[in-house]
Amino acid sequence: MAEWLRRGLQILAPRFDSGRGLQTSNLWASNLWFVRAGRISMIDFDKARETMVDCQIRPNDVTDYRVLKAFLEIPRERFVGSAERALAYIDEDLPVSSSNGRRFLMEVMSLSKLVQLAGIDSGCIVLDIGCATGYSTAIISKLCDSVVALESDEELATFAGAALTDLGCDNAVVVSGNLESGYAKEGPYDVVFVGGAVDFVPEGLLAQLKDGGRLVVVEGHGNAGVAKLYTRVGDVTSANVAFNCAVKSLPGFQAKAEFVF
């Protein structure tokens, strides 16, 4: 069995176990047609990208034209390994190589809605925390003045830097460091985008926001996760719950276990 197909079946296997049956997009069905025909090289990624936007993003209450345009322009297949490229546009989180535990590219239904929530405009300086292979950074780069992508995994940071350079994302830079510490050196930021689920938001990240700055994050895990928008006004930061959102966890944001009598 081809490696990319084996990985695809692993990704989709939980759908058989959930009691819902196999619920996939038309795009996955078309990928299977290519497998049967032995013509995987003929997948039209441009068409797949359009299908992703029309079938996964637009129906998910993402209406901002600039956000939709960014997802249409950035080739998601460039941010996964060659074995996963045929699966780049399925409606699932995609595993990416990491020497520091499993990491994922966030499924676009959640990613697009979170990016829209951030309200990024052309004058914004953005910190993208947990960029993995750089897909979220590439999307954000189409919306802002400049974006700093922070990644704790050196292998992923190297991949992200190369991919962003290849695509001409000249307003993006990748830096390495602990995700929970942020990157104050290039701050303060108009927007801090946290690319995964966390137990809590460190005060140090909120301190890296400009006056009027915003931080977007998913707090909680699985079906308990909620997207929150933090806004800083002066020395006061407030948080509003925006919508339910289940995304994969980011390392470094786990609450310490406490002893309970």
Task: Kindly list the domain boundaries of the chain, sorted by start residue.
Answer: 3-244
Whether domain 3-244 has CATH 3.40.50.150: yes
Asked whether 219 and 225 are in contact (CB, 8 A), the reply is yes
Using the 8-state DSSP alphabet, how is residue 185 labeled? G
Q: What is the sign of the dihedral through the CA atoms of 55, 217, 102 and 21? A: negative
pTM: 0.84
Q: What type of residue sits at position 27?
A: L
pLDDT digits (tens, 9 = 90+) for 54-90: 999 999 999 999 999 999 999 999 999 888 899 999 9
Tens-digit pLDDT profile for residues 80-110: 988 889 999 999 999 996 555 578 999 999 9
Contacts with 158 (C-beta within 8 Å, 6 or more apart), sequence order: none
- Residue 161 tokens, joined: 């830097």
